[in-house]
Amino acid sequence: MKLESDTQERFTPEAGTYDPDENFFCGACGDLMNSRFGVDGPTGWVESMAGRKHLHDVYECPNREEDWHRQVIALREEKKKTASTLVESLLDEESQIVLDKRVATKKVSLFMR
């Protein structure tokens, strides 16, 4: 199953929500996601700071730390913000180039996610 969002690279459903044999594909790049089941821990920074945890499954794109992957997501996020159809088409074009070549055209900060 491909994730609905074209920027989603990770998700953490409650443990056992999905069949372990079901494959999930990254919304950003389309690659098969890695999976871990029955993880006991926080699913976000708020839960972590509160010292809470719960059982969940983790699906993550193996490319999520790659510069090109970060840039594809950043370009798509920027596309959502722009009021310009011209800029939108340029962002689409660049994200497709980066995705096809799997090489970043510009370094993107980790904080731009």
User: Which DSSP category does 107 fall into?
Assistant: -
Contacts 24+ apart (CB under 8 A), 41-46: 43/12
- Segment 52-59 mean pLDDT: 96
Q: Give yes or no: residues 18 and 53 share one domain.
A: yes
Closest C-alpha to 42, from 64, 65, 12? 12
Q: Give yes or no: residues 81 and 42 share one domain.
A: no
In a domain, 51, yes or no: yes
In a domain, 72, yes or no: yes
Q: What global pTM score does this model have?
A: 0.87
In a domain, 2, yes or no: no
- Segment 105-110 mean pLDDT: 86
Examine the pLDDT at 5 and tell me if it is beyond 80: yes
In angstroms and rounded to an integer, the radius of gyration of the C-alpha atoms of the chain is 16
Instruction: List pLDDT tens digits, range 35-53.
Output: 999 999 999 999 999 999 9
Domain count of the fold of the chain: 2
Range of the domain at 18: 10-60
